[in-house]
Structure 1
């Protein structure tokens, strides 16, 4: 059998098998440098949720047999039966589109079932940030005579999130060697897309981290900056849980503290203080200026409203 014929036969076999075609797509995403979290998201959205829908509706699992109405039915199912938010529907559509585009581009499927479909339009909402009165409570230095190591660490974490705007995944991967206090920056080594970038720190955060390190007492420069009582790296879920608990402890009502709220708050304060959008893009580690433009639109109007109230 000619080589081209054998190759075509192999591709048809892949394109007709749900698990195999997903496996090859995931391998391609890994080679493209997608983070572990993104890979897990693809596996969950495609290999779990989308597959379950196809099975429950008794639709063909063979990607070669999918048509555009199968994808439309899934979007309607998410929106109307599952009660998912439009942004969730849009995100899952994006995952399916990436998969189908890959299979079609590589000739694993004969036609692209998603080519004629457009993602759902999502209304932009004003991002919630932390009010000044909340910041005053949570960023106030804890009583050193009463607080535990974990309490002081959590306070240092909040100051780091507020002062730099970094993501929680970036935060938990900071090692002692990445903290350059003399030069007033932290090197982020686990940015989105596996990109490194330096983020500047203020004089206040300099003092916070300087004090924290005297309590932290690292053994080597490779130790993680923020750790548990045994010196082990904190998980992202642990950070989220501890922030929530810290908010309850200091009496924050009607609002849950989260790493992303600190990120948005950092962006808001940066813009309110006249910061340059392109510098903000670099600080936040965004590959596109579009998200930063959204921040400027949202928080720029917030500045205008505050100015009008004063006048």
Structure 2
């Protein structure tokens, strides 16, 4: 009688496991592995700001290790030391450090899966624990102060004013704002279409704009028509605006306005717009669609209210108003 022997294996070696034993003998350096990783990320269709972010975060790490490393020299200890360096010497906020940590973990995960390193280093360090994020937002007075710093008698100043109105009104991301094309602005219906390949989620969406913003956009588009560019927001000589240029401009306006207790950035406008939308009586479901979030949990984070905000809302919507028909 023949007996079938049971195997002791609890799984089947996949092609990646087979490749790992073979390819780990290849002497890729840290820089070479990262370039191969980025070639892969580009094929995923990531937007340009995301690709630039990967390179920027890798540059911070390469400066820490002061040069290239062989794949055998890439160890978990190096990355633990890097985390300590960011937190203790560079004094980075945990949230800032975590952005860089997540980038490196994604890179190392790919290296392990491709068989370029033997050990799953990405599993041996994690983002640092942080308290619940407190998302900053502007007060109405701070927004007015920012706008008051602008000389809108000049083209650049008027453009900045229109950009701020559009940024707050639509709550778009900075990359989405700078990639808006003139053809996608419908002043008659009061909408702006965001093309799928220029949004973070790779999904097209349409954002509404208020009557006041429509008025400013109409005037701005008339003034900038002579440039003949397909893009909406341009420099004084008709070129598309770079994200870092606009961020620096907002920082300067914040300094001029004396706003030193919070970051004056495009993302702060996004948070502020979301909070004001809810405070003015907007519902979270339409807000989710405007923001372009697929998960309502992100919307909840965006509309964190201060105790003063909650008090104002309570005075307006207290259950007693229902009892006394107010």
TM-score (norm 2): 0.79
Cα 1:184–1:308 shift into 2, 3 Å? closer
Q: Is the 8 A contact 1:15 1:62 kept in 2?
A: yes
Q: Is the 8 A contact 1:14 1:20 kept in 2?
A: no
Matched residues in 2 for 1:193 and 1:218: separation?
33
Match of residue 70 from structure 2? 62
Q: How does 1:279-290 map to 2 (within 5 A)?
A: 279-290=286-297
Matched residues in 2 for 1:273 and 1:209: separation?
23
Match of residue 242 from structure 2? 235
Q: 2:102 aligns with which of 94, 102, 121?
A: 94
Match of residue 265 from structure 1? 272
Q: Is the 8 A contact 1:139 1:159 kept in 2?
A: no
* Structure 2 residue matching 1:217: 3-state secondary structure: helix
Matched residues in 2 for 1:52 and 1:103: separation?
20
Match of residue 51 from structure 2? 39
Deviations 1:24-43 (A, max 9, x none): 11111111122222222222
Larger Rg: 2
1:26 maps onto 2:38 in alignment: yes
What's the offset of the Cα at 1:72? 1.6
Deviations 1:115-174 (A, max 9, x none): 143321112342222211223344579897xx1122221111111011011122211221
What's the offset of the Cα at 1:287? 4.4
Deviations 1:233-259 (A, max 9, x none): 22223323333445566x555466432
Q: Is the 8 A contact 1:153 1:212 kept in 2?
A: yes
Q: How does 1:105-124 map to 2 (within 5 A)?
A: 105-124=113-132
Match of residue 299 from structure 1? 305
Q: Is the 8 A contact 1:25 1:102 kept in 2?
A: yes
What's the offset of the Cα at 1:114? 2.2
What's the offset of the Cα at 1:89? 2.0
Q: 1:53 aligns with which of 64, 75, 81?
A: 64
What's the offset of the Cα at 1:183? 2.0
What's the offset of the Cα at 1:65? 4.6
Matched residues in 2 for 1:261 and 1:79: separation?
24
Alignment gaps of 5+ in structure 2: 1-15, 319-326
Q: Is the 8 A contact 1:25 1:99 kept in 2?
A: yes
Deviations 1:52-96 (A, max 9, x none): 33348xxx9233454433322221122122222211221221111
1:174 maps onto 2:180 in alignment: yes
Matched residues in 2 for 1:19 and 1:280: separation?
42
What's the offset of the Cα at 1:281? 2.7
Q: 1:153 aligns with which of 134, 145, 159?
A: 159
TM-score (norm 1): 0.82
**Number of residue-to-residue matches in the alignment:** 298
* Structure 1 residue matching 2:131: 3-state secondary structure: coil
Matched residues in 2 for 1:158 and 1:218: separation?
22
Cα 1:218–1:287 shift into 2, 3 Å? farther
RMSD: 3.2
Matched residues in 2 for 1:282 and 1:13: separation?
49
* Structure 2 residue matching 1:133: 3-state secondary structure: helix
1:225 maps onto 2:232 in alignment: yes
Comparing 9-18 with 27-36, which one deviates more in the overlay? 9-18
